[in-house]
């Protein structure tokens, strides 16, 4: 296979959860630019419509699929219905997630449960639902969005750290069970990126100064800098990569 073909997603369809904005939207856009047809998912219908209109206006082939990734029945129904009515989902990017900050000794139990359901359970529900169709085809790509908090911790986000550590080990488990069926399941772990959800931190001069000093690259990341890694993990180029967590973090996990 020619090197360019290794990164060509023409003829493939990618479902990106939580893709109405932020990292999910950027990854969906990047996958479409690599040739993939895109299926956007978000729990907010208005946000989903806006994202779809934007990508369609850029020439992407886009469909939408509204379901709550924390509801296993809704996930299975949506995936099964799409596969039956539209066609195969060749690539799944499990991106939907949330962050909640509070001192661990004061962290509300209900918020802990909600965070785990979205960040960890949702990856399992969506991964399992899609894999049930990929396995008979003996092909498929699953990219689970992890985090630098997969490997590191900071004050006030211990549950988030636990959830992303769980995603990394679930990724390894998925690869262990499903690689023999021709699937590749890997994790993409972003560092600190400028998004709608991090805008308050970006605007915090003290935090940005700390982050710039802590990160070898000396800055926040731009979401477009995640696209190349995602395309690699979704494309034929990664055909023998399985259970790997790819950090895109400006070197923060490599430095003390």
Q: What is the pLDDT of residues 73-121, one digit of tens each?
A: 999 999 999 999 999 999 999 999 999 999 999 999 999 999 999 999 9
- Residues 199, 205, 206, 208, CA torsion sign: positive
Question: Both tokens of residue 98?
Answer: 């949330």
Tell me, yes or no, whether 133 lies in a domain. yes
Question: What whole-number distance in Å separates Cα of residue 249 and Cα of residue 226?
Answer: 9
What one-character DSSP code corresponds to residue 226? G
Catalytic residue flag (residue 160): yes
**Res 27: pLDDT:** 98
Catalytic residue among 125, 160, 192, 247: 160
Predicted confidence (pLDDT) at residue 234 exceeds the cutoff of 90: yes
What is the rounded distance in angstroms from the CA atom of residue 202 to the CA atom of residue 171?
30
In a domain, 213, yes or no: no
Grade residue 24 by pLDDT with cuts at 50, 70 and 90. Answer: very high
Domain of 174, in residue numbers: 5-193+225-247
b/e code 146-181 from CB counts within 10 Å (16+ = b): bbbbbbeeeeebbbbbbbbbbbbebbbebbeebeee
The strand ranges marked E within 61-139 are: 62-64, 91-94
Q: Is 181 part of any domain?
A: yes
Q: Phi and psi dihedrals of 5, rounded to 5?
A: -65, -30
Residue 198 belongs to some domain of the structure: no
Q: Residue 197: its pLDDT value, please?
A: 82
Residue 96 lies in a domain: yes
Give 143's pLDDT tier (boundaries 50, 70, 90). very high
Alpha-carbon separation of residue 94 from 66, 111, 136, 138, 149 (angstroms): 14, 21, 21, 20, 16
For strands 62-64 and 37-40, give the pairing: parallel
Q: What three-state secondary structure class fits 114?
A: helix
Percent of the chain with pLDDT over 70: 100
Query: The domain that contains 44 carries what CATH number?
Result: 3.40.50.720
Other CB atoms closer than 10 Å to residue 55's CB: what's the count?
Answer: 20
Please check whether residue 185 lies inside any domain of the structure: yes
User: Secondary structure of 146-178 in the HEC alphabet?
Assistant: CCHHHCCCCCCCHHHHHHHHHHHHHHHHHHHHH
Please provide the average confidence, as pLDDT, over all residues in the chain: 97
- The domain tally of the chain equals 1
**For 157-163, what is the mean pLDDT?**
97
What count of other Cβ atoms lies within 10 Å of the Cβ of residue 42? Answer: 26
pLDDT at 196: 86
Task: List pLDDT tens digits, range 36-62.
Answer: 999 999 999 999 999 999 999 999 999
220, part of any domain: no
Question: What's the predicted TM-score (pTM) here?
Answer: 0.97
Residue at 186 is within a domain: yes
* 3-state SS, residue 117: helix
- Angstrom distance (rounded) from CA 99 to CA 95: 13
Angle CA 23–226–119, to nearest 5: 45
Rounded to an integer, the average pLDDT of 249-256 is 96
Q: What is the pLDDT of residue 256?
A: 87
């Amino acid at each position: 296979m020619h090197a360019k073909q290794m990164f060509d997603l023409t003829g493939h369809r990618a479902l990106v959860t939580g893709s109405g904005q932020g990292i999910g939207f950027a990854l969906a856009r990047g996958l479409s630019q690599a040739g993939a047809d895109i299926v956007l998912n978000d729990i907010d219908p208005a946000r989903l419509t806006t994202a779809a209109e934007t990508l369609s206006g850029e020439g992407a082939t886009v469909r939408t699929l509204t379901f709550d990734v924390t509801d296993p029945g809704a996930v299975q129904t949506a995936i099964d219905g799409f596969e039956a009515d539209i066609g195969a989902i060749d690539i799944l990017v499990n991106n939907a997630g949330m962050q909640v900050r509070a001192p661990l000794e004061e962290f509300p139990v209900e918020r802990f449960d909600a965070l785990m359901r979205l960040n960890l359970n949702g990856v399992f529900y969506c991964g399992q639902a899609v894999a049930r169709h990929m396995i008979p085809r003996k092909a498929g790509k699953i990219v689970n969005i992890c985090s630098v908090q997969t490997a590191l911790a900071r004050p006030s986000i211990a549950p988030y750290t636990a959830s992303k550590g769980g995603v990394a080990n679930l990724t390894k488990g998925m690869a262990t069970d499903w690689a023999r069926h021709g699937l590749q399941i890997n994790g993409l772990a972003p560092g600190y990126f400028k998004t709608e959800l991090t805008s308050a931190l970006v605007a915090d001069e003290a935090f940005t100064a700390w982050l710039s000093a802590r990160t070898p690259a000396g800055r926040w990341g731009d979401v477009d800098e995640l696209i190349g890694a995602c395309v690699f993990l979704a494309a034929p180029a990664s055909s023998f990569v399985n259970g790997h967590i790819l950090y895109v973090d400006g070197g923060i996990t490599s430095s003390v």
